[in-house]
Amino acid sequence: MTTDISTNTNKENKNSLWIGILLIGLGVLGIIAPNISTIVVESWIAVLLSSAGFAKLVYAIQTREQDGFIWKLLLSILYIATGVMLFFNPLTGIVTLTLLLGSFLLTEGIFELILAFRLRSKANWTWALGNAIVTLGLAAIVLSEWPFNAPWLLGTIVGASVVVTGISRIMLSLNSGGYSLNSSDGTMSET
pLDDT in tens, the chain (191 residues): 444 444 555 666 778 889 999 999 999 999 999 999 889 889 999 999 999 999 999 999 999 898 889 999 999 999 999 999 999 999 899 998 889 888 999 999 999 999 999 989 988 889 889 999 999 998 998 899 888 888 888 888 789 889 999 998 898 888 766 555 566 665 655 55
Task: Specify the pLDDT at position 142.
Answer: 84
Task: Specify the pLDDT at position 174.
Answer: 82
Report CA-CA distances (Å) from 34 to 30, 99, 150, 158, 188: 6, 17, 10, 9, 34
Task: Specify the pLDDT at position 179.
Answer: 53
First to last CA, the chain: 30
Is residue 188 within 8 A of residue 179, CB to CB? The reply is yes
Residue by residue, DSSP assigns 47-93 as: HHHHHHHHHHHHHHHHTTTSTTHHHHHHHHHHHHHHHHHHHH-HHHH
Task: Specify the pLDDT at position 172.
Answer: 85
pTM greater than 0.75? no
Task: Specify the pLDDT at position 2.
Answer: 47
Given the DSSP bridges, would you call strands 188-190 and 179-181 parallel, antiparallel or unpaired?
antiparallel
List Cβ neighbours of 189 (8 Å cut-off, separation of 6 or more). Answer: 179, 180, 182
